[in-house]
A and B are shown apart, each in its own frame.
Chain A
Amino acid sequence: MDYFKQTLKTDCEDLLGRFQATASVRFEEFSAIWREMKFSSVFYGILEPSEKKVFTRLALSTASPYLLPPYSFQIRVGGLYLLYSLYSTQLNTPKERIRIALKDWDDLIHFQQDAVNAQHYDVVYVLRKLLYEKAFCFTAMPDTLSFQVKKKRVDRRQQLCESFVDRPSRPQELIGTDVLEELANVHEHYEGLKKAILPQPPQSNLSLIKHNLVPKLRNSVLTFYSWQQNQADFDSQIDRDAGEGTSSQDESSRRAQLLASIKSRSYAQAVEASKSRRHRQMEVTSAARDTESTQQVSRFKRPLSLKARTNSRFMAQGSQNAELQSITRLWRLTEVEGKKTEGKTKTRFSWKERMRSKH
């Protein structure tokens, strides 16, 4: 059955890639793609009940990683919808469950909190529905393990789908406490060896590496992190300032407007009107029209700077909820960074090409 692993991954990434292109986190968008791809039929054509179960397990385990970091918030939403859809459309009775490992639970809770704070009701609803239906299996490890050492090498080569990954926290991820500790140990060992070789204190011609390498590296990352924070705070400061003029609006309509603003702007897309949200539709479309229509044109010419985009997106809305803003901050960074990385991978590619042509 393992031979389906790669094709399942291809299909999932195809679906999530299309979802990513919609720049939305709405379930409607997701289900439309699901229907278009006729994804339910992935379970068709298996006769043996036991084979059905094994295949469903494989499908769920292939989709599970997209629910977790390091994937971007939007991909994680897509991953959640994908798991929910696979779980709901499977042909087994009783249903095969979605495995969640204890170590990943925290991430899922934070994800849910982010979705609650940003009032992405459909995301929260789907997650809660899965829990309510007891669709999760609370496990020790993400997959069952049987010490398959050889299999691992093949799988790991093409594990992470880079275009789905959030970039802003990469330096922090790369230079974590573990790495710093390890580096400090190596450094200490190195200094010790130098001392052992030379009777007197190390001379300058042996000081090839800065003696305070580890703290320096740590500081650099911290500096970068606080720059990121400041940048984001600065952006939301602007939002707050801009919001003061419209404080006469009542709380509920402001919330509605804010929600609409997130929906329409953080993903550069107007919310689709649907039955009971029609009362909000007016605000959304009108608000979207005035700035978006002019912006839409220039958007494709040259990406505006993060600050400029944040300004233009949130200033006009008059939103005051700073806390809510801080949640969306990550996505805004993501979007900008995402564009940068696309460029980066291209250069890396051409560099490789160049290397190859040299040989």
Chain B
Amino acid sequence: MNHSRPAALLWTRQVARDAFHQRFAEPYIARHARAGQFVHLLPGTRHLFRRALSVYATDAKAGTFDVLHQVLGEGTRCLSQLKKGQTVDALGPLGNQFPVPDSGRRAVLVGGGLGMAPLRLFALELNQKLPKRSPRKNALERTPILLLGARTGSLAIAPFELSGIGIRASWASDDGSRGFHGTVVALLADQIADGRILPEQSVVYGCGPEPMMAALANLCAQHQLPCWVSLERSMPCGYGVCMGCVIRSKTGTGYETFRRVCRDGPVFDSAQIVF
């Protein structure tokens, strides 16, 4: 039988205004979590419900997992104020994973704000799948491309440890203070237009605010580019029993009009979703 487990806080780092990177010791989640999956944390006894956070990093050997979160309300504030050694009750890993690209297609990871969290883990997973000594050209073709967006440069959080393995992010900021001036979806459009990203040889993975996911889905549809998006919903249970966390499906009817983000997702083929 599966069950929830206590996860002990190892450390907290403030990475931007109201944004925190935290590492927890919990070996089961550390061993089993894959990119795209989330943990459901109970921040304090005052809360009836858990809070869903994407898994940002794992270390199976050390038995730790990381989350990256923005303080939004009471739940995330409680989390950010945990002291070293204190535990939260953790359920997980939950949800599905980002599917690996079909052969001949390169992963283009498009993250908005904290949406970068699951993409960072996915980039690492993909990188580990690359053959170690394959011909340089081939390997390069398959190294994931990472496009990240932030409202402004000061809120841009660099995904930790990725530059060390040769994956560098291109940045977009709404005010032009860092990288491309515009949204990260506009940056993707720009790179498609100038031929740096070839739709027929790419597959897009997106995570970020829903309006951004909708714009991303739209752009990809125009270019017939396969696109997977990770979605967020308020999640009373997180494991599929309450039917609260639903998203409208384009193809489903009757019972399948609404799909559960926690269990049928959080990663969906964007062509199947009504935003």
- Tell me if chain B binds chain A: no
> B interface vs A, CB < 8 Å?
none
